[in-house]
Structure 1
């Protein structure tokens, strides 16, 4: 009973934000933003709960709780490396996007020298640090994940590279454990993942195992959140395919997909797919007069399709 109460309290202590549409912000090779609704104005929260547990809705939502909001994002920068960082205006735009978030996962890092990531880090505010994964991939093509985080907003407690002994993933998930400095008794296990498009159904189906591995690594009291380019829609791993495969993240109601199937996270006009996702595992599901779900604002950021 004490453990259940503790888990409920930990959920309430987190900042809950439901936005008018999932915040999407994208960048192509020219560095232009392709979502004017996100670039032109900040969405007004429809519902939010502060760390003190007080609630506000719509226009009555107080901005005084903004210091307690934790903004988390995932940004797949297409073929990120020295060539991308040498394009006029692009590094500055990437910097602007990253600095909107307290913690952000950057995917598809190809530069084996690491110079492009260090260059980006030097451009950011001094409050930002980063942690980077191993180079991942079965063949010569390899990628890395990097989490950039604001040291004045969160403490990095640990990180973990999934071992994947069964070779289930092309790019094994990379996780960090962070604690918001403005919210007590909360630890978030952010699981970064970029699915191989042609194996997306199979790889997403193994993410429940990864969540279990991360909880064993970081502790059972953490709040796991899977985020990144899951390729979880259209021809790769739409909901119908995931249901048919019996994917736990899709069939188990304890998992909440913060970016829905109807959201377009691509930049091409000819494509409308919710490839990028953010999936929360609710440790406790409590039905009360008002059902509160969703833990953090989790922005899906997207680039042109490359797989």
Structure 2
């Protein structure tokens, strides 16, 4: 009886693996002061490569590569780690109100599954609300033929903790400008929003249009811990999608943080060397070409046939 149960379990796992292989993963990861110092640590770079190579598109934040050497090294490490896919990087200019502290938004993406079709550095000059952001969004439009929506826009944001409420509300203006400019309703906003704990008071949420507009769906559940430290439990990192079509394209319950400390069996100290944030991620449903569907269908069917054969053979022996 126990053997039969194990065979049934292997059958279900095989089918799940065959079906789940087709997901398109979008991630956002705050790398916590990523620059030459962190890039010099081989174990950290390997862990970053393992994390980022899980994603078709990965937004990186807190890239502070003033020497311009850390990002190329990271990209090369990813390419060496995952030779089955092709990777490219697209970086914003260095952003910040002071020369002493600046960051870049960076998108690392699989060029064999997704293409960049446009980009836009938000000028942050809305009349009456100029200079709303410390690090204004670097907006990128992607074409992903395997996904059910084909074409979508990503708006990244790493808010300043002391100005979270205002910056989150100002993101709504960015969203409206991008929708109008590119005539595209498939927009995702993502990043370290600092949208919890002491940085976004509950009493202020009613003043944030990004929260109150019913056309926007916040995918990372409230009270989800996206921080590495055991002493903190905050939902800082978020993913928000605009519109019902984009929302329906999301694999249900797939939006979550990726606990790389647990997955790779790291100590808290080792994990903090990588970052003090977990990446957040979401899967988009894939509608493949006929040929690709045939491969997946064959793979799924073969897995089902193989496991059913095992079960039938076992039952005959009983």
Structure 1 length normalisation: TM-score?
Answer: 0.72
CA distance in 2, matches of 1:258, 1:174: 21
Contact 1:71/1:298, CA 8 A, preserved across alignment: no
Change (3 A) 1:142 1:177: same
Contact 2:145/2:151, CA 8 A, preserved across alignment: no
Report deviation, 1:181: 2.7
Change (3 A) 1:62 1:74: same
Contact 2:185/2:243, CA 8 A, preserved across alignment: no
SS of match in other structure, 1:206:
helix
Contact 1:262/1:274, CA 8 A, preserved across alignment: yes
Superposition map of 1:205-244 within 5 A: 205-217=169-181, 219-243=182-206
Superposition map of 1:1-307 within 5 A: 62-66=16-20, 68-125=22-79, 127-140=86-99, 141-165=101-125, 166-183=130-147, 186-217=150-181, 219-243=182-206, 246-283=207-244, 293=248, 295=250, 297-300=254-257, 303-304=275-276
What CA deviation, in whole Å up to 9, does each residue of 1:105-155 have, x standing for no partner?
000011122210011111122600010001100012100010000011111
CA distance in 1, matches of 2:230, 2:17: 35
SS of match in other structure, 2:136:
coil
* Larger gyration radius, structure 1 or structure 2: 2
Unaligned runs of 5+ in 1: 1-57, 286-291
CA distance in 1, matches of 2:149, 2:199: 38
CA distance in 2, matches of 1:147, 1:93: 18
CA distance in 1, matches of 2:45, 2:191: 21
More strand by share: 1
What CA deviation, in whole Å up to 9, does each residue of 1:70-123 have, x standing for no partner?
100001011000100112400110011000100000000111222100111111
Report deviation, 1:68: 3.9
Contact 1:256/1:294, CA 8 A, preserved across alignment: no
Contact 2:226/2:236, CA 8 A, preserved across alignment: yes
Contact 1:74/1:300, CA 8 A, preserved across alignment: no
Change (3 A) 1:70 1:146: same
Unaligned runs of 5+ in 2: 1-11, 260-274, 278-318
CA distance in 1, matches of 2:202, 2:183: 29
Count the aligned residue pairs. 239
CA distance in 2, matches of 1:61, 1:190: 32
Report deviation, 1:175: 1.4
Which is further off, 165-174 or 252-261?
252-261
Which is further off, 234-243 or 172-181?
234-243
More helix by share: 2
Structure 2 length normalisation: TM-score?
Answer: 0.69
RMSD over aligned CA atoms reads 2.4
